[in-house]
């Protein structure tokens, strides 16, 4: 395969091994004479895939029997609505830590259902950092605390969960899901669009703690938008092929060594890029150092003209999708689990050459 170095923020690079396995099974799955895409979601074959993927997630995250796992549709954006629809009512308050574009969108949706308190916001400084625990000013009795664990646009990331003194966390983990171990005991809900770190676009992974789920008020919630509707059963036709692909990625994560392996792997890749950024003033990190993301490294060059030249010349070296988000500009290198070290090393070598020629 003639594969480029893909730094797309999403849909993002998938493991080559997974793509090859899917290719081999695409037209005929397990000698059944048809593709998995052509099989009923009630078939034994798909039910086995669904269960295997849930078992792998349970093992990788250490969920035990305390959580429900669902494969839904609508992306993380649908969860901006669905979480407060189930857990926030008029007169109640939820706390939303505001660290970027996506948390701001989640706040807008939550306000439809109840009160929203922002215990912290970095909007005035361009979302250039995430808070320390002593900067969080929570409301008196929040139903939950929502945070976005990794911010793809700005390039910031929580190194650990924010301390909430026992209030359940609701987390949009779309862009760093399964990139490192987490303390699952702190979460009420973890949701993630698959297209950044665990599969193709079209499936959203939702993990809910059972005792938190029991608190949901679904009196006026449509059936399909109630989380209980999707527990322990497949309610409606799921994105069959996407779940199949997620299952293959989860298998790959396990074979590589699990979340401890990827924590170290991602730290090593991030260090390569950030060390290069910090050598001098030619490249300038876009966020504060203590808040830097290992998934999305964002930086600026001395001028927008040089940034455009950087992106154009990078593509000639098979380095693709390095242009920053349209709302902030600059350069963004997304280095999810499936981004090979070789790609990061090639990027760093290009950064060195580009500095030497234009610095």
pLDDT along the chain (359 residues), means of 10: 92 96 93 89 92 98 96 95 97 97 96 97 96 96 98 96 97 97 97 96 97 95 96 90 97 98 98 97 96 98 97 97 92 98 98 95
Residue 95 has a CB neighbour count (10 Å cut-off) of 26
In 238-325, which ranges are continuous DSSP H helix? Answer: 240-256, 258-277, 304-316
Q: Considering Cα of 309, then 315, then 317, then 320, what sign does the dihedral take?
A: positive
Beta strand 187-193 with 204-209 is antiparallel
Q: Per the residue annotation, which of 50, 98, 128, 172 is the catalytic one? A: 172
236 annotated as ligand-binding: yes
What gap in Å lies between CA 129 and CA 100, rounded to an integer? 9
Q: Per the residue annotation, which of 54, 180, 186, 196 is the catalytic one? A: 196
Query: Catalytic: 211?
Result: no
What gap in Å lies between CA 318 and CA 4, rounded to an integer? 5
pLDDT of residue 125: 93
- What domains are defined for the chain? 16-256 (3.40.640.10), 258-358 (3.90.1150.10)
pLDDT of residue 227: 97
Q: Which residues contact 307 (CB under 8 A, 6 or more apart)?
A: 300, 301, 324, 329, 330, 331
172 annotated as ligand-binding: yes
195 annotated as ligand-binding: yes
252 annotated as ligand-binding: no
Query: Catalytic: 252?
Result: no
* pTM given for the model: 0.95
Q: Per the residue annotation, which of 50, 95, 98, 102 is the catalytic one? A: 102
Q: For 188, list phi and psi in degrees, rounded to 5.
A: -90, -45
102 annotated as ligand-binding: yes
What gap in Å lies between CA 138 and CA 119, rounded to an integer? 5
CB-count burial class (<10 Å; 0-12, 13-18, 19+) for 124: exposed
Query: Catalytic: 196?
Result: yes
pLDDT of residue 38: 87
CA 67 vs. chain centroid, Å, equals: 19
- Whether 181 contacts 187, CB under 8 Å: no
pLDDT of residue 327: 84
298 annotated as ligand-binding: no
């Amino acid at each position: 395969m003639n594969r480029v170095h893909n730094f797309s923020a999403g849909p993002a690079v998938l493991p080559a091994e997974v793509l090859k396995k899917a290719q081999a099974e695409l037209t005929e799955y397990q000698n059944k004479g048809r593709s998995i895409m052509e099989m009923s979601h009630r078939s034994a074959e798909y039910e086995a895939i669904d269960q295997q993927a849930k078992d792998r997630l349970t093992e990788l995250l250490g969920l035990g029997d305390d959580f429900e796992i669902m494969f839904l549709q609508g992306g993380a954006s649908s969860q901006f609505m669905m979480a407060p629809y189930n857990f926030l009512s008029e007169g109640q308050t939820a706390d939303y830590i505001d660290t970027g574009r996506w948390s701001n969108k989640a706040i807008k949706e939550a306000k439809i259902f109840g009160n929203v308190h922002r215990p912290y916001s970095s909007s005035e400084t361009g979302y250039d950092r995430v808070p320390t625990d002593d900067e969080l000013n929570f409301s008196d009795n929040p139903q939950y605390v929502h945070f976005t664990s990794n911010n793809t646009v700005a390039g910031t990331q929580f190194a650990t969960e924010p301390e909430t003194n026992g209030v359940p966390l609701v987390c949009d983990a779309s862009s760093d899901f399964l990139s490192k171990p987490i303390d699952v005991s702190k979460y009420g809900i973890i949701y993630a669009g698959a297209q950044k770190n665990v599969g193709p676009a079209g499936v959203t992974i939702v993990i809910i703690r059972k005792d938190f789920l029991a608190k949901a008020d679904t009196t006026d919630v449509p059936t399909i938008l109630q989380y209980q509707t999707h527990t322990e059963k497949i309610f409606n036709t799921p994105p069959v092929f996407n779940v199949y692909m997620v299952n293959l990625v989860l298998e790959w994560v396990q074979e590589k060594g699990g979340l401890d392996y990827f924590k170290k792997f991602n730290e090593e890749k991030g260090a390569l890029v950030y060390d290069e950024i910090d050598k001098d003033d030619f490249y300038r990190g876009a966020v504060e150092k203590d808040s830097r993301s290992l998934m999305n490294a964002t930086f600026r060059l001395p001028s927008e003209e040089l940034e455009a030249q950087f992106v154009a010349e990078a593509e000639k070296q098979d380095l693709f999708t390095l242009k920053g988000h349209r709302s902030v500009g600059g350069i963004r290198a997304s280095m999810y689990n499936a981004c090979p070290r070789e790609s990061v090393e090639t990027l760093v070598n290009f950064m060195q050459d580009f500095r030497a020629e234009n610095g």
